[in-house]
Amino acid sequence: MVDSVLLALQIASAAASVDPFVFFQPSVTITADDRRQLDRGEAIARVLPGRDLQVAVFAAVPIDIDGDRLIAWVRRIEELKKSSYVLAIRRFSDQPRIEDLADLALDDEELSEIRACRRGHCAVRLSTSEMAQLQEAAAHAGSDWKAAVQQTFRRAVLERVLAYLASGRVTPYEDGKDPVRPETRFASLLDHWAFLVERLPRFAQHLRGYPLTAAPEVESFMYWSKERLAGKAVVSVTHVSIVRSHAAGLPDALVAGKEIYATHYFYASLGLTAIIRGEPGRNNYLAYLNRSEVDVLRGMFGGLIRWFVQRRLRDEAADVLNGLRRRLEGGNPAGEPRGGP
């Protein structure tokens, strides 16, 4: 009898000591100091190793919600991302249409820059054919050229979205010296996260080869946004994928944001937001992991710029995650049934 009780206590102790963040290993390892900081209710944030043009950051904070609450907010992406930095945002319809982009507008500076674009030299991330279409629209519209370019740009974004949904093809960027294929750069980002391939292989394959490898258990949608980053307005399109799991060691909810277009800075970006189940008697955790490839790290000052970028990522990640925690713990988004986890 005593032996049975001791064995039960040992099993319970071992189960309680399992690292809730084991899912992210070996890409992210949570230290004893990190756990103590989380136990105090504080966020942790760190920059992860990056090479060439890649930067990566991880952050986590304890939270009193489950995966249902996170997913309810993600589905209302316009509400979730609302902030002074988000200038405009809208979720695409299930069948994307030009009306979904009615509120999308480039800044006047970008409109002027587009008129001077040529292959290999353009201040906005575009393909050669897109440059030609935009310039032709400006040339034929006379004094109303700005409105014509805006509408042509909206159609170009829609064409990118439709091409991606049909075949997974992402139109190359030809604004720089060498063409850039975003899907190739994205594959490189995903290759750094062996934990995702190992522990959620169908989800990883869904991200890598969508729509040809789309997994039926994964919910997904697309949205566009215009956000102020480093003093510049960046228009981007993101493919969101959501998966739930009840298996031990896997997140209660995992949301991936795969960037398929950005007018500035980014060649590719992949963000993961997860609700991690806590140990018995403890809160769950909200975790965020992002790896991006950015063009500002090019050139002779790339190393210095990397230092500044990484420092800013580390300093801001905890504040951003704390703000997200407050929004999520405040209840369901407007229009959703109220209720706790």
pLDDT of residue 299: 46
The arithmetic mean of pLDDT across residues 265-282, rounded, is: 89
- Listed in order, strand segments (DSSP E) in the chain are 44-48, 54-63, 86-91, 219-229, 232-244, 253-262, 266-276, 284-294
Q: Which domains does the chain have, with CATH numbers?
A: 21-106+182-329 (3.30.530.20)
pLDDT of residue 302: 40
Are 112 and 149 spatial neighbours (Cβ–Cβ below 8 Å)?
no
Tens digit of pLDDT for each residue in 235-264? 999 999 999 998 989 999 999 999 999 999
Check whether 16 has a pLDDT greater than 50: no
Q: Is 331 left (phi over 0), alpha (psi -120 to 50) or beta?
A: left
pLDDT band at 340 (very low <50, low <70, confident <90, very high): very low
pLDDT of residue 234: 93
Tens digit of pLDDT for each residue in 285-300? 999 999 998 875 344 3
Tens digit of pLDDT for each residue in 213-222? 999 999 999 9
pLDDT of residue 38: 94
Q: How many CB atoms lie within 10 A of CB 87?
A: 16
Q: What's the mean per-residue pLDDT of the chain?
A: 87
Return the residue matching tokens 């990522």.
Answer: 313
